[in-house]
Amino acid sequence: MKSKYSKFKIKHNNHSRGVLLLELLISISILAAILSVGSQAVWVSMQSGKISSESDLAIGLAGEALEAARGVVDEKWQYIYSLTKGSQHYYPSIVGGKWSLVSGDETITLNTARYTRYIVIDNVSRDLSTRMIEPAYDSANDDPSTQKVTVTVEWQGAGSPVVISDYFFRWRNKICNQTNWSGGAGSGVKNCPDTTYESIFPAGTIDTAGGSIKLQ
């Protein structure tokens, strides 16, 4: 009888070890799943923070460029109005202690991201009846006192690019002296002082001999 009980006890212990081993494997599997989900959540959180940080820096760079362009406009309207429109890229640069727009793209490295920044200038037209800015430019309704400035910041990463734009207005005029009319008829941006005139109507010529003006 003693021998039978001993055998039964041994079988019972083997069964317990098997149950414990199975429970251990299940626990390890659950722990691995939890760690996997946790690591993924941490990675997503880190990537989200990285994207947010890069986007914030890009927005700051775009805003800085827009304010630099505003400084150029405040210095002299012709500095922005005479630039090539639509396709040419410019970037802000300090020249002689003042903001200036230089042709080309600007590369800026901040933290681990490399940003490319550029500005595009566009002409603006207005509806002749409402004087509202037209969504598509019409040269027949051109407004020489308004320019659209668009800043683009690009980088290798999610969230790229950041694009912001604003309309700049010629809010002050400069009075120039007309020293004489020897420059002849001409159009476009005038220099100060000026020696040219737009046109004569009705048609004729200008005689400036003797310091006087005489229409012929």
> Under 8 Å CB-to-CB from 121, ≥6 apart: which residues?
80, 83, 84, 85, 86, 88, 90, 147, 148, 149, 150
| Share above pLDDT 90 across residues of the chain, in percent, rounded to a whole number | 44
- The residue to which tokens 């120039």 are assigned: 176
Range in 6-20, 40-54, 121-135 with the lowest mean pLDDT:
6-20
Q: Is the pLDDT of residue 127 over 70?
A: yes
Name the pTM for this structure: 0.63
Q: Which domain, by its residues, includes 213?
A: 175-216
In terms of domains, do 188 and 164 share one? Answer: no
In total, how many domains does the chain have? 2
Q: Nearest 10 degrees: CA dihedral of 53, 58, 64, 65? A: 170
| Average of per-residue pLDDT across 48-72 | 87
Among 150, 169, 188, identify where a domain stops.
Answer: 169
CA dihedral 187, 193, 195, 199 (to 10 degrees): 40
Q: Are 196 and 97 contained in the same domain? A: no
The tally of CA atoms less than 13 A away on the side-chain side of residue 39 is 6
Residue type, 173: N
pLDDT tens digits for range 63-102: 999 999 999 999 889 899 999 999 899 999 999 899 999 9
**185 and 164, same structural domain?**
no
Asked, for residue 208, whether it belongs to a domain, the answer is: yes
Q: Which tens digit of pLDDT belongs to each residue from 155-201?
A: 987 778 999 999 999 877 666 777 777 777 776 666 777 777 777 66
Strand partners, 169: 146
Residues 122 and 197 in one domain: no
Residue 11 domain-assigned?
no
Task: Say if CB 180 and CB 194 are below 8 A apart.
Answer: no
